[in-house]
Amino acid sequence: MFEILEHPADIGFRAFGGTLPELFANAAKAMLSIACELDDVAPKAEFAISATGADYESLLVNWLSEVLYWFDGMRIALREFQVTHLEPDSIRATASGERRDAEHHRSKLIVKAVTWHQLKIARAESGWMAEVYLDI
């Protein structure tokens, strides 16, 4: 579903999806798996998350920035994403997770932000792939 990409100072990932909605869902999971141990997160509640953009690239940056804000600002850890609507300028999804709790959720790296560095969305062998670098 995703793999880690190397960068001299930061970290990136390459996410895959059979469809574009799956790609966006997997990209969100890839990012959060760098920030915390996803297995520690229970899907206790459902949340509606959305973002807008000018094209698929900016939509991906804005979508991931939105998910990061939920994690770091609203302090909600999410583990599963169901993308219910995707156009080049907008995305809507239902995500499941729970309020962050330092006792039960192991933290990994603090993700500062989603960058445009070498951002790529392209056709893959079976579906789509995206490459994203994060500032950590």
Partner 1 sequence: MPAGIHIEAIDAFRYRIPRDAGRGMRTDVVVYASEALMAQIRKDLSLEQAMNVATLPGIAGSSLAMPDIHQGYGFPIGGVAAMDAADGVVSPGGVGFDINCGVRLVRTTLSADEVRPKLRELVDQVFRDVPCGAGGAGFIKIGPKELDRVLADGAGWMVKNGYGEERDAGFAEAGGALEGADAGAVSSRAKERGIPQLGTLGSGNHFLEVQYVEEIHDEAAARAFGIVKGQVVVLIHSGSRGLGHQVCTDYVAEMNKVMPKYNITLPDRQLACCPIRAPEGQAYLGAMCAAANFAWANRQAIMHFLRGAFRRIFGESAHLDLIYDVCHNIAKRERYEVGGKKRDLLVHRKGATRAFPAGHREVPADYRHVGQPVFVPGSMGTASWVLVGAEGAMRETFGSVCHGAGRLMSRTAVRKGKDARQETKKLEDAGILVRSETRDGILEELPEAYKNVDEVIEVVHNAGLARKVSRLRPMGVIKG
Q: How far apart (Å, rounded) are the C-alpha atoms in residues 109 and 125?
A: 31
Sign of CA dihedral 98, 103, 106, 112: positive
In the numeric block, which tokens belong to residue 104? 């039960």
Residues 60-99 that bind partner 1 (CB under 8 A): 61-62, 65, 69, 72-75
Q: Cβ of residue 77: shortest distance to partner 1, in angstroms?
A: 10
Burial class for 55, CB neighbours closer than 10 Å (0-12, 13-18, 19+) = exposed
Angle at 87 between CA 90 and CA 117, to 5 degrees: 70
Nearer to partner 1, 85 or 116 (CB): 116
Using the contact rule CB under 8 A, the part of the chain among 5-13, 25-33, 42-50, 84-92 near partner 1 is 5-13
Which listed residue (78, 114, 121, 130) binds partner 1 by CB under 8 A?
A: 114
Place of tokens 């994403």: 81
Nearer to partner 1, 68 or 83 (CB): 68
Residue 25 CA to its chain's centroid (Å): 7
Nearer to partner 1, 45 or 74 (CB): 74
The site for partner 1 (CB under 8 A) is made up of 4, 6-11, 54, 57-58, 61-62, 65, 69, 72-75, 100, 102, 105-110, 112-117, 119, 133, 135-136
